[in-house]
Amino acid sequence: MTAGDSSSDSIASLVGLAPLEAVLFDIDGTLCDSDPLHYYAFREMLQEIGFNDGVPITEDFFAEHISGKHNEDIAEFLFPDDTPRGQKFMEDKEDMFRKLASEQLTPVSGLYKLKKWIEDHGLKRAAVTNAPRPNAELMISSLGLTDFFEAVIVGSECEHAKPHPEPYLKALDVLKVSKEHTLIFEDSVAGITAGVAAGVATIGIMTRNTEHQLMEAKPTFLIESYDDLKLWAALEALEEKGA
């Protein structure tokens, strides 16, 4: 048994989605393990400007205050008294991330197996992210998924970013699908919170965040990767119910 709950509970929780219409994915940490690159960029650049008296930020600090959050919120947290400086810092950090990502990005294990299953079943799909659009498009392209996604919904282009449900509600509207027959994959507390608030079954993937952290956001269940046997047992049951 993998994390979150039992396989039988996982199967039961997805069967009700039949017939499945669409699958929505976050990008950072969900399609690819990009958090180490973000963490490296933040750590190096914050140390360079003397943040925290020059003591490098820890992975725990990154996970709690930065990972999965919208850039405007991160900038406000890091530079509460200097908005322009915060905005410029985030722009420079994203430049550094894109340079790293263009050379080092790798997919989450099992992603292409799931991609084929989605294509074989003719499901609609969209990427829904808090990342800036240039980052999102770079990551999607680097992973060879440009033609896979029918839409890319970006938090900064909505009135509210995740953890607000608006980006996911917008994706449902763009794809013309119902929340009762859609599935979301997310790796962060903010993302799972957004999916659950949108009323969509949301599977948490433990790319970097712990079971304890993610379960606080009340995902449908958790998986370790797209190779997780629990996921495939649930998808098989969903497929049989839909047939």
Annotated catalytic residues are 26, 28
What is the spatial distance between Cα 12 and Cα 21, in angstroms, rounded to a whole number?
A: 18
3-class secondary-structure state, position 150: coil
Question: Can you spell out the DSSP letters for 1-40?
Answer: --SSS-HHHHHHHHHTTPSP-EEEE-SBTTTB--HHHHHH
Report residue 61 as tokens.
């600090």
Query: How many other CB atoms sit within 10 Å of the CB of residue 164?
Result: 18
Q: In what order do the strands lie in the sheet with 151-154?
A: 151-154, 124-129, 22-25, 182-186, 201-205, 221-223
State which H helix or E strand residue 151 sits in.
strand 151-154
3-class secondary-structure state, position 211: helix
What is the spatial distance between Cα 162 and Cα 16, in angstroms, rounded to a whole number?
A: 25
Q: How buried is residue 115: exposed, middle or buried, by Cβ count under 10 Å (0-12/13-18/19+)?
A: buried
3-class secondary-structure state, position 221: strand
3-class secondary-structure state, position 199: coil
